[in-house]
Structures are given as C-alpha cells and as structure tokens.
Structure 1
Amino acid sequence: MTSPDSPDRTSPTRGARAPRVHRAWWVALAGFVAIVGAAGFRSVPGVLIDPLHTEFGWSHGTIGMAVSINLVLFGLFSPFAAALMDRFGIRLVLTVALLLLASGSGLTVLMTQPWQLWLLWGVVVGLGAGSISMAFVATLVSRWFVTRRGLVSGILTAAGATGQLVFLPAVAWLATAFGWRVPALVVAGAALLVLPLVALVVRDHPHALGLEAYGATPEHPTPAPPTQRGNAGLVAVTALRDAARTRTFWLLAGGFAICGASTNGLVSTHFVPAAHDHGMPLTAAASLLAAIGLVDIVGTVASGWFTDRVDPRLLLGLYYSLRGVSLMFLPMLLGPDVQPSMWAFIIFYGLDWVATVPPTVALCQEHFGERAPMVFGWVFASHQLGAAVAATAAGVVRDTQGDYTLAWLTAGGLCLGAAVLSLMIGRRETAPRETAGAPG
C-alpha cells in the first residue's frame, strides 16, 4: 500500500473529476493556520518586556538581545528550511517546527537566568519560527500555484504578521491578570493544536495527489517536484553563492533588511513599551499594535492582488516611502490617551506593515526561477538581520536616551533609502503577468 504522498509524482491522473475547490486552496488554508499558530509566541516578547524587567531586573537591552537572537535565527534558518522542504517534504518540516515552538514557549516558565531566555526565546523558538517563515510561503506558492501567486503570497504573509499582532491583546490581558507565564503556556498550546491540521491536509506537491497546480496550462505547467537528494545545507549555501553574484539580490536584500528593522525589530518589539513610557496602559498599547495587524490583512492581501498586475519595483518604492513618512511622525503622536491622530497612524502604517512581501517574492521568482524559494529565504534572512539590529539598538537607545525618538526617526530615514534601492532593481520578466480574466 502506498502512502498519500506516494502516487505517481510525474504523471497526474487523467480524466479524474476536478474537485469543486482546488486542493491548492486547502493546502494554502492549512499553511495559513500554521503560520498564525507559529506567530503566537512571536507576539509575546513585546508585551512581556516590562513584566520580565520587573520580576528579574533584566535591562531592556538584555531582553532585546533575546529577541535579536530569535530574529537572526528566524531569518538565517529560513533558506535552510526551504532546502529541507525540498529534501524531506513540507509536512515533516512543519511538524518539527511546531514542536520546537511549543517546547521553546512552554519551557520559558522555568527560566531564571538571561542565558535561558536567550536559549529558549532566541534559539529554540527562532529555529521553529524560521521553518515557518516567508521561505515556507514561497515554497508552498511556487509548488501549488501557477496563477494567483501574488494574491496567495499576500494572504499567507498577512497570516504571519496579523497572527503575531492579534495575539497581543490576549497576551497582555493574561500577563496582567495571571503573570507572564500563563500566556507563554497558552501560545505553546496553540502551536500544538495546529499539528493535526498539518498532518491531515498538507502535501508536498500536487503530483502527490494526481493533480496539477492551480492555474497550470500546457504553456505554463506545474513546476516539477523537487528532486534534491544531496546535503540540504550545501544546496542552500550554493543558492546564496549564485544569487550573491547578481546586483538584484543585493538590492532586494538591502531593502528587506530595512523592512525588517522598521517592522519586526522596532515596532513589533518596542511599540508597546514606548507607548507605556508616555503613560499609555499596557493593554491599550497592545490593542493598538493588534489593530495594526487587523489593518494589515487588507493592506497585504491588496498588495498581493496589485503584485499580479503592477510592476513590483514600483510597489516597493511606494510602500517604503509611505512607511518612512509615517514613522517620522510617530514620536509626535504618542501620549497617555489614544487620539484620532494615533488611529490615523495605525491605519496608515498598518496598511503597509508587510505589504512589501508579495512584490519581493515576485521579483525573486522573476530573477531566480526554480531557486526562488531558497533565494527569497536568504533575502528574508537579511530582513531578520535588520530586525535583530533594530531590536537591540532601539533597546539601547531607550536605555541611554530615556525614550525611543531617535529610533523612530532613524527608521523613517532608512525606509526612504529602501525605496531608492527598490527602484534601482532591473526588470526581467520570466512569468506571465496576471490578467483580470485569469481563472479564479
């Protein structure tokens, strides 16, 4: 008897009745839920900085270092996770990643020393999260979709950012009512709850079920199943070596490093304590950050739709410019109460939170072909390196300057630089641009 993943991988079943909803959408839904579940623990550090500082006396810089380690591994492991998915399959890698997230989160309740914080929040959770990062999105989309790639990339990207942020009010409430250990255990349980869905729904390639990818045609067929049997680490490093010889890779990586610094590293980690510095209650600040996540659903999905139709370079230039301007205004908006001007920032910034991902994925697909998931993994690694630098640097700014003003202004200026880098990317069209009449 063959397993569900073992039908003919090269010649899909002919004449079978097509399902009413293509299996690709169910796989994408399972990926969406897995990303949201994985995002749960990544929402915890920003809310728990002050409780940990109060209980253990650890400085903002010490706690920010744990976040930085997490962000570095979250990014650096991403291309290796893409290579492991080629070697061992998407489902197995997702399963191991969720187990890492659950164990890393649950064991934090026992920590008493900073090195334990760095090990659990940084290393264990970083490796688990890095396996369910944007390289996973690129891998799933490239295998299961030929059309609607931008739209699906936008939806799955929104799952990560939104999942991370919408957990914030619950985490903040639990931390306030029961202490910081309870939310750590809750998000560990959330990661475990996703495991059955991954086992039942996720498959490594459409051919494993005798299907073609969504939107496949004779002119644009289903991508071939991965045939990698060598060392996954070597494959990932080789992809980096070859990509690093191109100007496009460095422009994408530079812009995405600034993207990470201005989102995950700065706002996601330090917005709540910065607002608290201005007298805003912890739960109110967390709710504002969660609202960014809700607005981000609209912005990122719309970005995916536009990416199928508009030059991705122009989209990146616009997104980075708008983000830079909004961050420069933020120091003037923070206060003890939530004014209409703050809501204007939440909506404006939230629409742009991770709208940069779909056009970046599209540019990797255009320039790097079948290696696009691994190359994007390396581009995403630069995103997380930028985030790691910002997470620690902003904490140091707060410790030395007494507030975060310099951090907000610096991030805004860097975003304007990222817009310039994006517009310098050349154009190389290797896939059909989506049209309004494409299958839905």
Structure 2
Amino acid sequence: MKSKSSYAKYIVAVSFLTVFANYGTRYTFGVFFKPLLDEFSISRTAVSAIFSLNILVYGLSVPFTGWLTDRFGGRWVVVTGGILGGFGFIMMAISHKIWEIYFAYGVMIAIGSALMGYSVVTTIVSRWFDKKKGLANGITSIGIGAGTLILSPLAGWMIKYMGYRDSFIILGIFIFLIVSIPSFIVFRYTYPHQISSEKSSQIIADFSLRDLLVSKSFWFLSCIYFMYIFSDFSAFTHQVIYARDMGIEAVAAASIGGLIGGASILGRFFFPWLSDHLRQRKYSLIIAYLWIIAGFIILNNVKTISGFYLYALVLGIGYGGVGGLFPSLVSERFPQNRMGVAMGVITTLGCVGGVIGPVIAGYTFELTGKYFWVWNLVIFISLIGVLSSFLLPKSIRKGIVSPFEITSDL
C-alpha cells in the first residue's frame, strides 16, 4: 500500500509544475507585445485588448472549472487544460489574422489556464493536507513566481534567436509535457483514502451555491481578494510608466516587475508556513497585507532606482504572502468537496478588481495629474482589505467532514 504522506508530496510537486508552466507561459505575453505589434500592424490598444480578453474569459471560466474539479476530480480537468493551453500557443504560432490571435490567446489559452489554474490545483492539494496545509499551498504557489521569473526572460531569448512563431510552438509543447503528462499520472487519486483499500461510508452534506452566497466568510474573503487584486494590479500596470516619469532608465524600470515576481517567492513560502503555527491563519494574512501597504508607501516616496527596488522587494513579499494564503483560508471555511467552486467564484470577483483597478488608477491620474493620488488610492483600498481580514470569521470545522473521511463519487 502506498504511503499517504509520501504520495501527498507528489501531489504538491506536480501542482508546483502545473502553475509554473501555466502562469509562467501565460505571463510571457508582454514579451511578445512588440512582435505582435509589428507583425499585424495594429495599435497598442488592440494588442492590449488581447490580454484583457484573456483576463475576462479566465475570470468567467474559473467557477466552472472549480465545479468540474469538485464533481469529477482534478485529473482530467488539469490534463484538458494542458492540452487546450498547449494547442492555444501553437495556434498563436500559425495564426496570420488578428482574430485568430484573439481566439487563441483570449479564449483557448484563457480557458486552458483556468482548467489548470491555481484554484484547481490548490483544491487538489488542500484535500491531502491538514496540519501543514498552509505550507503545502505555499510551496505550490511559489511555482507562479518562479515561472514568471524564469520563463519571461527565456521567452525573450527565444524570440531573439528563433523568432516569435517558433517560440510560441516551444511554449505550447512545454505546457503539454510539464502539465498534462505528470497530472495524468499523479492526479488519479482525488482523496488520500483512495490509495488504500479502505472505504468510507461517510457522505458530505449538500452545500449549494446559495449556501455559499449567504456565508459571511465568503463575502469577507471575496472583499479581501478583490481589494488585493485591485490594488496590486493597479500598481503593476502603472509602476513602469511612473518610474519612467521619475527619470528611471527603461531597462531598469522594466526590471521592477521581475523583482516583484522573485520577491513573491519568499512571501509565498513564509506567510503560509507562519499561518500553520498561529491560532488563526488570518493573522498571517494581516501581516502580509501590511507588507503590501508598506510597499505602496515606499512607492509614493521613491526618487531613485534603489527606492523602486526596495518597493519591489517589500511589495513582492506581501503580494506573494496574501496569494499563497488564500487556498488554506478558503479550505478551512467550506467543505472540501465544494472548495473548487468557492475558490472559483472568489477568484472571479478578484479578476473584476484586476480589470477595473488599473482603469480607475489611470482615470485618477488623468484627473489629478499626479501618481501621488493614485498610490494613496491603492493604500486606502489595501486598508479596506486589512480591515476585512480583521473581521474575517473564524474557520468553522463543525459540519465539515475531514477530507480524509470523504468517499468520492467518481
């Protein structure tokens, strides 16, 4: 009989690889911005709209992928995501009309990314851990930062020496090899008891979408995540042009985002680990959120590139911490066989913040002519996130069956 604890490590490893390949390739879009601009002779707004469509379709797809994970398990959900995402990148390589690019990246890759997304794999991981749930999800989420940090420069190198079309093909094959094949092998078990001959007769009570929507925890978590994505995506969108306005050289300004991704790895490991040792995980969440606010305060007072790097380090740690904590916070408040839907709906609301946040930030700048008021806005939004974290109800275990006692209906 296989060891449950040893097999759980394989679950985490494959989940790490999945988000590494998924988000690492998806966030290379900025590297392909100029090649697409030159190839199709379209405006920057038109190219930017491709990424906006991707975010929109991704956000709308996540609740459905969460339901699929709850209903059928993660194996075929993630495998299908890897296949769809891989073919999406290959279609990008062979596309000669702009609508094909919109469909490939804005629809195929977006849906594929949702199927192999963070909410899906952390739903899988959370079912295999209890005491070290935070650490397990934190290690998984490190894959996002690592993928962004490594694959974007690699994509730039491939474009330089191989051209953008061949680069798309390589990324597509990479996703299939790193995501679909390992997940097909490892994710065949939904719950720990399935690797043994033991069977449980215990059944989880029904938990409907209505039950989710009337839950105080759901609305507090949604508010926290909305504010988190709103403020951080606003900063990510405007930080480079702000640095350029401050006289920072272009390459140095562009490196700020990479440093945030690298620093987020520290936060994704430390704060989930810390949460495993505190009475309530929300205290670790509050500390991580305060790091984000500290980063924005630094950003509002920087004048040199060293100041921008300090901002990136501090914000990145807090940004990674909040993101790494969320799966465990959700898992402790909803039944394990409904976590996928809960994570999906919360993620969708977060995507709304990611869509409107940068726009409101841009409008604030146009209205005031100063980024001083933009950064004050994101600080205020983040403070609402901290307050919501304080008010987040305690995790309620009563009535929620342990994942180690669930009988799958697969």
TM over 0.5: yes
TM alignment of 1:95-244, pairs within 5 A: 95-111=79-95, 115-176=99-160, 179-194=163-178, 195-205=180-190, 206-210=192-196, 239-244=208-213
- Structure 1 distance, partners of 2:256, 2:288, is 21
Deviations 1:52-107 (A, max 9, x none): 44554544443333323222332332232122123333111111101111122222
- Structure 2 distance, partners of 1:402, 1:98, is 44
CA contact (8 A) 2:137 2:325 kept: no
Specify the alignment match of 2:224 in structure 1: 255
Give the secondary structure class of the aligned counterpart of 2:59.
Answer: helix
Specify the alignment match of 1:381 in structure 2: 348
Q: Decide whether aligned partners of structure 1 residues 168 and 350 sit closer, same or farther in structure 2, where only a CA change above 3 A counts.
A: same
Specify the alignment match of 2:332 in structure 1: 366
1:76 matched to 2:60: yes
Match of 2:386 among 403, 419, 428: 419
Structure 1 residue 110, shift from structure 2 partner = 4.2
TM alignment of 1:39-54, pairs within 5 A: 39-53=23-37
- Percent identity reads 23
CA contact (8 A) 1:44 1:171 kept: yes
Q: CA RMSD in A?
A: 3.5
1:346 matched to 2:331: no
- Structure 2 distance, partners of 1:225, 1:181, is 50
Match of 2:258 among 290, 297, 303: 290
Q: Which stretches in structure 1 are left out of the alignment for 5+ residues?
A: 1-15, 213-220, 228-234, 432-440
Structure 1 residue 330, shift from structure 2 partner = 2.6
- Structure 2 distance, partners of 1:430, 1:342, is 43
Specify the alignment match of 1:216 in structure 2: none
Give the secondary structure class of the aligned counterpart of 2:334.
Answer: helix
CA contact (8 A) 2:288 2:317 kept: no
Q: Which moved more, 1:53-62 or 1:41-50?
A: 53-62
Give the TM-score taking structure 1 as reference length: 0.77
Match of 1:355 among 321, 329, 336: 321
CA contact (8 A) 1:94 1:198 kept: yes
Give the TM-score taking structure 2 as reference length: 0.82
- Structure 2 distance, partners of 1:55, 1:397, is 33
Specify the alignment match of 1:315 in structure 2: 284
Q: Which stretches in structure 2 are left out of the alignment for 5+ residues?
A: 399-410
Q: Decide whether aligned partners of structure 1 residues 46 and 269 sit closer, same or farther in structure 2, where only a CA change above 3 A counts.
A: farther
What is the aligned length?
393
CA contact (8 A) 1:172 1:286 kept: no
Give the secondary structure class of the aligned counterpart of 2:189.
Answer: coil
Q: Decide whether aligned partners of structure 1 residues 356 and 210 sit closer, same or farther in structure 2, where only a CA change above 3 A counts.
A: same
Q: Decide whether aligned partners of structure 1 residues 17 and 312 sit closer, same or farther in structure 2, where only a CA change above 3 A counts.
A: closer
